[in-house]
Amino acid sequence: MDPKHTLENHPIDFDRFGNQGAAQAQNLRDSGIPNDNILIANREDSYAVDAKSRGFKVEHDFGKAGAVADVLFLLIPDQVQPRVFNEQVAPSLKETATIVIASGYNVFYKLLNFQLKQDVVMVAPRMIGSSVRSLYEKGKGFPCFVSVEQDGSGNGLHTALALARAIGATRAGAISSSAREETAMDLFAEQALWPNIIMLFREAFSVLKEAGCSDEALCYEMWMSKEPAEIFERAAEDGFIQQLKHHSSVSQFGQLSGALALDGVATRQHFKDILYNQVLNGKFCEEFSKIEADLEKDGSDNPLNELYRKSEERNRTAQPRETENAETG
Ligand code: NAI
């Protein structure tokens, strides 16, 4: 069974052979790489069917695909890369092959086994795959982190930039980075920044609901109107503070004075704790590796499904602190 189909409650577009893989392969082809020179290595699943339907050659044997690859884009989920690459691809890979990663994770944590003469380059779009494709089709680009993690040929940067160009990234700009930087920022955002944002929305909903606001009004006010999405769009254009000028004076005054009144000391300490004691020291990676295989299971045996269930339950039962205190105290 396709592991993605086991994840309940969050609809995903299944019509593509991999989020990044589908987008990058099509962009490469449209940039002039002959179809005959592109081989999709994919196990027998719905993604392989989709790749074939789009006219790509598909090889189900990763070892055979590795043996003919001069440039190998490693575009399968991060948690399965060490197993698939080290056991099935690496043994047959040419000793002068270039390996392209789209995330720093497995290279930063040293989970992939490379040969000394191989180039390892990072070409990491800062976009989901559907945007990598749609922006390419519109003739626009997308920001992309580029680095050379191992320069076996001495020509790694040239190759990395050429590949970034071929997938359409340089139209917006390739940004010099590293596997460490990409991993630190990515995991920090996922484990520190966004959990706080989820918590802030949950608590805000709860406090306003207790004050008599209806569920329907709250949903629209907080996210269904897409106002937060619009604010982030404006922030991308004008900057985080300057975008406030699009709002009313009451709003600007409230937001600016409110943010200045928060000292952020506890949050900064919490953020540092996550960055140094979970991300950079490898603790999260070590813990995550232990449950990696369970992510392919069904129902409550899949830890991700359990987290979804608990999160929905927490949202349903969330009470403002004052109520909890009043009830318990
Ligand atoms: P994905 O989840 O869309 O990958 C699906 C592909 O992986 C399919 O071809 C499927 O057949 C294959 N696959 C899944 N499990 C497998 C297994 N156990 N054995 C063999 N093949 C398996 O992956 P996605 O999201 O495109 O990520 C690929 C890389 O791109 C990762 O390194 C990720 O960090 C990076 N990346 C992802 C972005 C995103 O928006 N999803 C954005 C930027 C980078």
Query: Rg of the Cα trace of the chain?
Result: 23
d(CA 79, ligand 1 centre) in Å: 9
**In this predicted structure, which of 8-12, 43-47, 79-83 has the lowest mean pLDDT?**
8-12
d(CA 19, ligand 1 centre) in Å: 6
- What's residue 316's pLDDT? 80
d(CA 295, ligand 1 centre) in Å: 13
User: Does residue 93 fall inside a structural domain?
Assistant: yes
Examine the domain organization and report whether 92 and 209 are in the same domain.
no
* Arithmetic mean of pLDDT, 274-278: 98
Q: Is the CB of 102 under 6 A from ligand 1?
A: yes
Strand order of the β-sheet with 119-125 is: 71-74, 98-101, 119-125, 144-151, 174-176
**What is the domain-level CATH number for residue 141?**
3.40.50.720
- What's residue 315's pLDDT? 82
Q: By alpha-carbon position, which residue is closest to atom 29 of ligand 1?
A: 75
The structure tokens listed for 25 are 């392969």
The residue whose CB lies within 8 Å of the most ligand 1 atoms, and thus the one to mutate among 13, 19, 121, is: 19
Q: Helices 19-30 and 46-53, interaxial angle, to 10°?
A: 20
Q: pLDDT by residue (tens digit) across 231-270?
A: 999 999 999 999 999 999 999 999 999 999 999 999 999 9
* Arithmetic mean of pLDDT, 91-100: 97
Examine the domain organization and report whether 284 and 322 are in the same domain.
yes
Whether the per-residue pLDDT at 8 is higher than 80: the answer is: no
Spacing of C-alpha 281 from chain mean position: 20
Last-in-domain residue among 153, 177, 201: 177
Residue among 171, 169, 167, 123 at smallest CA distance from 147: 123
Q: Helices 129-137 and 19-30, interaxial angle, to 10°?
A: 20
Examine the domain organization and report whether 301 and 193 are in the same domain.
yes
Examine the domain organization and report whether 192 and 159 are in the same domain.
no
* Arithmetic mean of pLDDT, 97-126: 98
Domain span including residue 280: 182-225+263-328
d(CA 13, ligand 1 centre) in Å: 13
The DSSP symbol for 76 reads S
> What is the residue-averaged pLDDT of the chain?
91
Supply the pTM of this predicted model.
0.89
Examine the domain organization and report whether 157 and 219 are in the same domain.
no
Q: How many domains does the chain fold into?
A: 2
d(CA 45, ligand 1 centre) in Å: 13
- What's residue 317's pLDDT? 77
Share of the chain above pLDDT 90, in %: 88
